[in-house]
Amino acid sequence: MPGPVWRERIRIAAPWVSLATGAWSAFFVVRRYSQARRVAWLLGTIWIVLGLLALVRSALRKNDRKWMRVLEISLTWIGQGASQEILFFVLPFWIRSTTWTSRNAPFTVLLLLLCGTVVVVPVYNWFLRDIRAAAIHNSLVQFAALAFLVPTLSGVHTLESLALAGALAGGISGIAGRFRRPWITLPVGVFAGASLAIAAAPWIAPVPLRIEGGVFCSAISARLPSDTLVRARRGRELWAFTPVFAPSGLRDTLVHTWSRDGRQAAQVRLPLLGGRARGYRVWSSSALAASGSGKVSVETSTGGGQLVGRMTISVDP
């Protein structure tokens, strides 16, 4: 059969094959923390592909050979597949770590939309046509992976870890964007990525941390709540029990911020050590928060200001 006919059939079939494999991966592949290194290998693949694509496209400007066009299409397809697998792997962890009534929800929604761009070939190719759009797209995919990967593999979940994830994502995208001037774009990308990650920390979910069954109670006994309160009584000391799940070995500092009707009443710093299936047991209490009637809330945040979760209870008059 003539070559052009085969190429046309491949062009028509490719988007559907990508959509089918993406849907299968999203709904039927189980993701576990023990498989985190798989994300690292996929990330390495993307970095190699981005570098090779920059070289190929630079050469295409000088010599438009058919085999180089084929190589460009093949590398693009590999990069799309790797990006797709990375996003579908880390997205469930982002979703679980997101407080959907808070300011960290929009970024996770953005990652959900990003999943659509790597599944639908025409949309993915549209991003690649513009160098700025491609740099932003690649940076977001890499940051989503690295923000999960750095704390999971290093065991340190701090603002510095988030900055490192941003710096790596920005640096690699900077190199891929202007391969001929890496001595300029690499430091610019590293600085921009780290700065943006630090500035945006309050709007980013603290992946892979999440609260497992937090409750208000009237006391803590043997490291467990003595009861579960639906409403609190005025003038009584109120306790917040917020077990936080984290992978084994992960460490960070947590902050309980107590407020009544939007006014801060107390702030308590607590340690976090990952590894317990039902979450590291964290609790604090406040007598001032329930000293008057109103709505009492407790926000659990990381030391870097990322919101892990929020609980609210009404205090009777």
Query: pLDDT tens digits for 86-95?
Result: 888 898 899 9
Positions in the chain short of pLDDT 50:
1-2
Q: Which residues does 151 contact at the CB level (< 8 Å), separation at least 6?
A: 157, 161, 207, 208, 247, 250, 252
- Look at residue 68 in the predicted model and tell me its pLDDT: 74
Query: Residues for the chain: how many in total?
Result: 317
Closest CA to 144 of 109, 94, 104, 211: 94
9-68 residue pLDDT tens: 555 565 556 556 655 665 556 667 777 888 888 888 888 887 787 777 777 666 666 677
The model carries a pTM of: 0.85
CA distance 4 to 190: 43
CA distance 107 to 201: 11
- Look at residue 2 in the predicted model and tell me its pLDDT: 46
- Look at residue 77 in the predicted model and tell me its pLDDT: 79
Amino acid at position 186, single letter:
L
Q: Which residues does 224 contact at the CB level (< 8 Å), separation at least 6?
A: 241, 281
Q: Are 304 and 147 in contact (CB under 8 A)?
A: no
- Look at residue 61 in the predicted model and tell me its pLDDT: 63
Please state whether the peptide bond connecting residue 206 to the residue before it is cis, i.e. omega within 30 degrees of 0.
no
Domains, the chain, in order of start with CATH, read 3-203 (no CATH), 210-315 (2.60.40.1930)
- Look at residue 127 in the predicted model and tell me its pLDDT: 79
Distance between first and last Cα of the chain = 83
